[in-house]
Amino acid sequence: MDELLEEILAECKPFTSQGALASYIPELAKADPNSLGIYLVSSDGRINRAGDYHKPFTIQSIVKPILLLQALMDNGVDYVRSRVGVEATGKPFDAINYTEQALLSDHINPMVNMGAIAICTMISGKSYEEKFDRLLELTRLLAENNEVCLDEDVYLSEKRSGSKNRALAYLLKTYGIIQDDVEEVLDCYFRACSIRVDCADLARIGFTLASHGKSLSTGERIFPAAYASYVNAILMTCGMYDGSGDFAVKVGVPAKSGVGGGIMAVVPTRMGIGIFSPALDEKGNSVAGIRALEILSKKLYLSIF
């Protein structure tokens, strides 16, 4: 399998030159656009990896399914579903014009920025610092890595350059979808997106969702299977931004991308996959990463369809 992964990465390496770094967050523009790595964790315990799988990067929007999972664990499905919708928007992840009418919770989903900002308010905690600490602990638990931490430089860069997310948050407050202090909510969100991970962390998180809530190392249940089904369903329809439909046709597994260049893929009952390649397409998805998943899906018959 390692040999197959090396072959796939060699075939996909030229695609790194077809994308661009997420320069609107200045700190992300410092990444090496030629980086490409992959890490697989299979249900039989096998681990396979190739390329730059060890390079750290920030989780960015791949934190959104973890945010959703934390909100589900704190509140249950009915409450979360009543506050944030589940339908794909068909618009970019940071779009402001979701509707020409009054903004309603059904107009957004947990995988776009507006939905994720709203989800931050549903995490239990006496303060937004405590809410973030609980999210970070859940991320460490899912990744089985206590060294997962905040990248302070990226966090500060996001906070300084996050004008559009501020606009989105104030729009949410205008329509009563959030009630808390906007800057406190955004600080939690910026921190969440700035958690530092690598391909192995993403693969283990993906595996836990693939195993419907069971720990990779112990087999113990971390969260109810119903929550994994809820998260995976939304990843399938909304996880790859407004490229989710094309991704479903070509790859066919639940997945989440981030503008840091990561992709977390979930192959239910079979494996979790972590990919890193920071050169992005116009939708904000890793160009070489998607291509690698397309080839891998065909080779291993991963599509759930």
CA distance 301 to 127: 45
Give 171's contacts (C-beta < 8 A, 6+ positions apart).
Answer: 96, 103, 114
What per-residue string of b and e applies to 134-155 under the rule 16 or more CB within 10 Å gives b? Answer: bbbebbbbbbbbeebebbeebb
SS3 (DSSP) at 237: helix
* Cβ contact 257:265 at 8 Å: no
Please give the structure tokens belonging to residue 32.
């090496």
Active site amino acids: 61, 64, 189, 241, 259
* Cβ contact 142:73 at 8 Å: no
CA distance 96 to 93: 9
CA atoms within 13 A on the CB side of 99: 14
